[in-house]
Chains A and B, each alone.
Chain A
Amino acid sequence: MEEKTVKELKKIVGRDGVLHTPEDLAVYGYDGTFEDSSPDIVVLPETTEQVSRILQLAGRERIPVVTRGMGSGMAGASVPYRGGIVLTMTRMNRIIELDEENGMVLVESGIITAELQAEVEKKGLYYPPDPSSNRQSTIGGNIACNAGGPRCLKYGVTGDYVLGLTVVLPDGRILKTGGKTIKDVVGYDLKSLFTGSEGTLGVITEARLKLIAKPDVIHTASAEFPSLNDASRTVNAILSAGIVPVTLELIDDTAIACIEEAMSLGLPRDVEAMLIIETDGSDKDSVAREIERIGAICKENGARTVTVAKDEDERNNLWKARRSIAPSLARMSPNKLGEDITVPRNAIPEAVRRLKDISARHGLPIAVFGHAGDGNLHPNVLFDLRNPDERATMEKMIAEIFETALDLGGTLSGEHGIGSLKLPFMERAVDAVSLDVQKSIRNLLDPLGIMNPGKALPE
């Protein structure tokens, strides 16, 4: 990077906001995957105005800009393969306005999601989207990836809570969209355009988010299934009965074995699958009734036992098990690659069956778990990156996993996004006209192609 540019960046954000020692650059090249490629410089803005000036400079000098939250992404979306500026939003982390009366909050985009949640919960309010990474991801990153989580079955994904955004466009203009109203049909819905845009259309600097009242009662049950097929069938049985649980999570035997190996939480090792199901609401009796009905449906569909957590401790233990799946896999094998395909919910049993078949044919284990309620599965292939054969096999398996999803009418990613890792499969997954329109929009907003180049859409 030219000396002059560095100086100018320092003038915009101050000396403390620019990092460029080799050590700094070495740690801003990765995200939550094993991808890695260092930027030329790291800039940490503190205001929307600064972001605007940085983008103007970048445009003038044709420097690629990769926006970064906390780098927990699972698709290589914030990895700066072409160098340039990594624009890190973590210092823009204030709550600007908590409007209790209207149930909404205006935040800077770099705030940690869990921290926002804790703050609003102090006032009896609730921000439902709950990516498992809520302690290590930012609201900006969540919006840019339209993050989901277990609770999204009932409450919807991040995008469902975005009321308004402030976005700095690639040419430096500051765009404001949406506002304090829940309904708004004036003009195109631009906030939806930026939601899920993976940092390719602009930099989100502020977001106004919808909040709801915190539910008072929660019940959590776990059901043990000797047969994986029965467990996956049950998912649809519950939903078809007109019940909408908060969460409906599936965990298969490979995942259970890894959790138990790593943490010994006392999960059953002689079943093929477990479901974790949660219901909530404000009326104690109706929540209790709902979980009972769910229990009965599980039994009818082949559950060996159904246990409802008696207290907060038991409930936490179940969630601890669920949250520790990914790290437990990492303990058991040098590397894992987690996908997040989504299929229509009636195809879940078939999807699970085919995933297991892929594993059997290629010989590397696949752990299957995920938000089965909305058809979002996380098949994780376990392998060793240092072994070239295993790496090649893994790549073949991933391709087959995607084929399976598309074949069953599903798609590549339910929440992690495309980033760079899933790009090669994009053309098969998205309608050609739709893809063409998307490229035009991108080109319109970013004619110079400086925003997160090489990500999200094929070039």
Chain B
Amino acid sequence: MSQKNDLHKPSENEYLSCIRCGLCLSNCPTYREYLTETASPRGRVALARKGLEGDLKLTPNLYEQMYACFDCLACNEICPVGIRPADLALEMRYFQEQMNPKRWKGTLFSGLLSKPKSMERVTFPLRLYQMLGVRRLVYALGLRLLMPGQLRDMEAMLPHLPQRPLRSVLPEITESHGRSARKVGFFLGCAQSLLFADESAATVRVLARNGCTVITPRDAKCCGMPAMGYGRQDTVLDMARHNIEVFEKSGIEKIITDCATCGSTLKEYGKLLSDDPRWAERAKSFSGRVRDISEFLMEIPIIKPEGAIDARITYHDPCHLRRGQDVRQEPRELIKMINGAEFVEMNEADWCCGSAGSQLITHYGTSLKVLNRKMDNVEGSGADIIASGCPGCQMQLNVGVRRRRSKIRVVHPVLLLDEAYSKKGT
């Protein structure tokens, strides 16, 4: 941890030109549930500013407003002046951690999450599946008071777990079907590997089917987003340097991920390391090569699947794909490509689902409210399937589906594509 005198402090450029126009309020999921200034982006910017300039004490409640932000990036997108309230909220969390580091975060983020092997050995998120694991996580997050029904909802979050994490099953090199047109790297995210292994296996199959030789480095680490969310930007930088190095070794054209959150974080490495003379160039080149799976598939000549999926399918934009990476149309195009699929656009498809990583655990009430808004729109669309390429969103949507005792299936778009490939044409 750095010395107190070289604290990384948000610069005044991040708030100074906020003209308090209020345009960001109506787009903010937390504002819309509470309708208070305190829960709004403009309010968060004002709090950060007053706190940093000494007009207000940096109290736990002030920082809590930064943690209550869902990091959905809607405010960043809409602010006409270019203020990024979402980023400022993260920076404030980091600022607090530097002033007042919490031990468990060190253990969790620099210890466990940065070493995939040990993470798998202690089967930490695997245990999440069992009550015990959930309890432990909750304990670790320092929240002993759970709301009634919350544990049940947290259980509903989790999909059927794979027998073993995908990381230990997936070969380092997957040859392309037929002639290999390109060599790509696959960044296997932690949540994908541990919880949605089927989907990432499907991603690799779909890549191989479309002429790619896929390299999946086993020694890649967590992208760093969870650490960032908990104010440990320092650990993120370590992870970034490590991952950049790992992918430099394999001589690949593009780095593919099927996790919206990983993708947006990997694409940020360039910016995060821009002040580090030894790493700036390498980070920039790394980030420039990162592609979400849907983005990549629409860039290359993709083979249309022969099989059909007869269903009404809608799509939920993960915040970190749509706004984090500006990938909007590509996943929709992929779904529309499937025979039999009837694509329906739901209302407010780009409105946050309320997951934001662990908000269902840390901000249960708000998270459920935001989820309810989403579920109303999902059900309103009349879809049988809701596709979304983000493990956090999928977990959250699963909770929504179960709470409503609905039959809607939650999947990654690439899984649908894979299914359509493996079915014979009709």
**Interface contact A327-B35, CB-CB below 8 Å:** no
A324–B21 touching, CB < 8 Å: no
Question: A91 to B31, alpha carbons, bound, how many Å?
Answer: 11
Q: Number of A residues contacting the other chain (C-beta, 8 Å)?
A: 40
Q: Are A327 and B80 in contact, with the CB atoms below 8 A?
A: yes
Which residues in A have their C-beta under 8 angstroms from that of B42? Answer: 27
Question: In this complex, what residue of A is CB-closest to B63?
Answer: A23
Q: Which of A190-215 contact B (CB under 8 A)?
A: none
Q: How many residues of B contact A (CB 8 A)?
A: 29
Are the CB atoms of A27 and B57 closer together than 8 Å? no
Nearest Cβ in chain B — how far from A135, in angstroms? 5
Q: Using A22-B56, A23-B61, A331-B82 as known contacts, say yes or no to A72 and B38 having CB atoms under 8 A apart.
A: no
Query: In residues 6-47 of chain B, which contact A (Cβ within 8 Å)?
Result: 16-17, 19-23, 25-26, 35-38, 40, 42-43, 46-47
Query: In the complex, what residue of chain B is closest to A137 when comparing beta carbons?
Result: B22
Question: Which among B19, B20, B35, B55 is the interface contact of A44 at CB below 8 angstroms?
Answer: B35
Which of B46, B57, B80 has the most CB atoms of chain A within a 10 A radius of its CB?
B80
Check B81 for interface membership: any CB of A closer than 8 A. Answer: yes
Q: Given contacts A21-B61, A71-B37, are A26 and B20 in contact (CB under 8 A)?
A: no
Q: Is B62 in contact with chain A by the CB < 8 A criterion?
A: yes
Bound complex: CA of A31 vs CA of B21, how far in Å? 8
User: Once bound together, how far apart are the Cα atoms of A381 and B80, in whole Å?
Assistant: 19
Contact A135/B26 with A23-B38, A23-B62, A27-B37 known, Cβ cut-off 8 Å:
yes
Q: Is A133 in contact with B21, judged by CB distance below 8 angstroms?
A: yes
Contact indicator A70/B59 (Cβ below 8 Å): no
Using Cβ atoms and an 8 Å threshold, which residues of chain A touch B50?
A: 26
Interface membership of chain B positions 65-87, coded 1 if the CB is closer than 8 angstroms to chain A and 0 otherwise? 10000000000000011100000
Q: Is A334 interfacial (CB 8 A cutoff)?
A: yes
* Best-buried of A27, A34, A137, A336 by chain B (most CB within 10 Å): A27
Q: Is the CB of A19 within 8 A of B36?
A: yes
Nearest CB on B from A50, distance (A): 15
Cβ of B11 to closest chain A Cβ, rounded Å? 14
Residues of chain A with a CB closer than 8 A to B80's CB: 323-324, 326-328, 330
- Least CB distance from A252 to B in Å reads 19
Cβ–Cβ < 8 Å partners of A324 in chain B: 80
Complex: A23 Cα to B23 Cα, angstroms:
21
Given contacts A26-B50, A331-B17, contact A70 B57 (CB under 8 A): no
Which residues from B are CB-within-8-Å of A135? 23, 26
Q: CB < 8 Å: which of B17, B21, B37 contacts A32? A: B21
Chain B positions within 8 Å of A70 at CB level: 22, 25
Closest approach, in angstroms, between the C-beta of B177 and any C-beta of chain A? 41
User: Within the complex, what minimum Cβ distance (angstroms) separates B111 from chain A?
Assistant: 33
Q: Judging by beta carbons under 8 Å apart, are A31 and B20 in contact?
A: yes
The complex places the Cα of A22 from the Cα of B56 at a distance, in Å, of: 8
- Are B23 and A136 neighbours in the complex by a CB distance under 8 Å? yes
In the complex, whether A398 has a CB less than 8 A from a CB of chain B is: no
The answer to whether A26 touches B22, judged by C-beta atoms less than 8 angstroms apart, is no
**Residues 1-29 (chain A) with a chain B CB within 8 angstroms:** 19, 21-24, 26-28
B25 with A30: CB separation less than 8 A? no
Of the listed residues A23, A323, A324, the one surrounded by the most CB atoms of chain B closer than 10 A to its CB is: A23
A44 B61 Cβ-Cβ under 8 A? no
B44 to chain A, nearest CB (A): 9
Q: What is the chain A residue whose CB lies nearest that of B17?
A: A330
- CB distance B59 to A22 under 8 Å? yes
A330 & B56 in contact (Cβ 8 Å cutoff): no
Q: CB distance A27 to B61 under 8 Å? A: no
B23 and A26 contact, CB distance less than 8 A: no
CB-CB nearest in chain A for B47: A23
Complex interface bits, A57-76 against B, C-beta within 8 A gives 1, otherwise 0: 00000000000001110000
From known contacts A26-B56, A30-B46, infer whether A330 and B19 are also in contact, taking CB-CB under 8 Å.
Answer: yes
Minimum distance in angstroms from B54 CB to a CB of chain A: 12
Residue contact A136 to B43, C-beta cutoff 8 Å:
no
CB neighbours (8 Å) of B37 from chain A are 24, 27-28, 71, 88
Cα distance A328–B40 when bound, in Å? 22
Is A326 in contact with B56, judged by CB distance below 8 angstroms? Answer: no
Contact with A along B158-192 (1 / 0, CB 8 A): 00000000000000000000000000000000000
Q: How far is the CA of A135 from the CA of B25 in the complex (A)?
A: 9
With A32-B22, A136-B25, A327-B21 given, is the CB distance from A27 to B43 under 8 Å?
A: yes
A137 to B35, CA, bound (A): 13
Q: Are B47 and A27 in contact (CB under 8 A)?
A: yes
- Nearest A-chain residue to B35, judged by Cβ: A90
Chain B residues within an 8 Å CB radius of A114: 26
Query: Across the interface, which residues of B come within 8 angstroms of A262, CB to CB?
Result: 82
- Taken together as a complex, chains A and B put the C-alpha atoms of A22 and B22 apart, in Å, by 21
- Given known pairs A32-B22, A91-B35, A331-B82, the reply for A23 and B59 (CB within 8 Å) is yes
A22–B46 Cα distance when bound, in Å, is 13
Task: Provide the bound-state CA to CA distance between A32 and B81, in Å.
Answer: 14
A24 to B43, CA, bound (A): 9
Complex: how many Å from CA A88 to CA B26?
A: 15
Give CA–CA (A23, B60) in the complex, Å.
10
Determine if B47 and A136 form an interchain contact, defined as CB atoms under 8 angstroms apart. Answer: no
Bound state CA distance, A109 and B195, in angstroms? Answer: 47
The answer to whether B20 touches A30 (Cβ under 8 A) is yes
Of the candidates B21, B35, B40, B62, the one whose C-beta lies within 8 Å of that of A93 is: B35
A133: chain B residues within 8 A (beta carbon): 21-23
Q: A317-343, CB under 8 A of B: which get 1 and which 0? A: 000000110111011001010000000
**Closest beta carbon of chain A to B179's beta carbon, Å:** 41
B56 touches A327 (CB 8 A): no
CB proximity to B under 8 Å, residues A300-355: 323-324, 326-328, 330-331, 334, 336
> How far apart are the CA atoms of A402 and B57 in the complex, in Å?
40
Q: Are B21 and A326 in contact (CB under 8 A)?
A: yes
Further 14 A-B residue pairs, CB within 8 A, beyond A71-B20, A136-B23: A23-B62, A23-B65, A24-B37, A27-B42, A31-B20, A32-B21, A34-B20, A88-B35, A115-B26, A133-B23, A135-B26, A136-B25, A327-B81, A328-B80
What are 7 of the A-B contact pairs (CB < 8 Å)?
Answer: A27-B47, A32-B22, A88-B35, A90-B35, A93-B35, A326-B80, A330-B17
Task: Give B residues with C-beta under 8 Å from A.
Answer: 16-17, 19-23, 25-26, 35-38, 40, 42-43, 46-47, 50, 55-57, 59, 61-62, 65, 80-82
- Sorted nearest first, the 7 A-B pairs with minimum C-beta distance are A327-B80, A136-B22, A27-B43, A90-B35, A27-B37, A72-B22, A330-B19
